[in-house]
Amino acid sequence: RFLIKGGLAGAAVYVAYDQGLLGSGTEGAEALKKAQETLPPAIQEWTNYLGWEVRAAQLPPTPKFDFSLSDTWNKGVHTVMSALSVAPTRACEYTMEGWKYVKDLVK
């Protein structure tokens, strides 16, 4: 199971890299635009293949995203870096609290 999960994760990362999702914000925006253009025809093709009758009017419109990918990415990077910079201090505090708890139990 571990190998299957690892393979699926690796494939997902490869597809994301191949489609330009791991690049700059403009590359991500282009990939999103490309997906919005290709998704409705692909859904229509699959519904025709499966024999379901779905008219284009019945399909919901593609969502409109009104945010900057680069700003969102930068905010995420800042959050992660902030958490990583505080991690050693927090680990030390939690270790001290743990030792204090153990000492109180032994007494």
| Nearest partner of 72 among 39, 34, 28, judged by Cα | 28
Q: What is the pLDDT of residue 97?
A: 94
pTM of the model: 0.32
Q: How far apart are CA 65 and CA 72, in angstroms?
A: 12
Q: Are 69 and 28 in contact (CB under 8 A)?
A: yes
Give the pair of three-digit tokens for residue 22: 């791991």
Give the pair of three-digit tokens for residue 26: 């403009």
Q: What percent of the chain has pLDDT over 90?
A: 22
Name the pLDDT band for 93 (thresholds 50, 70, 90).
Answer: very high
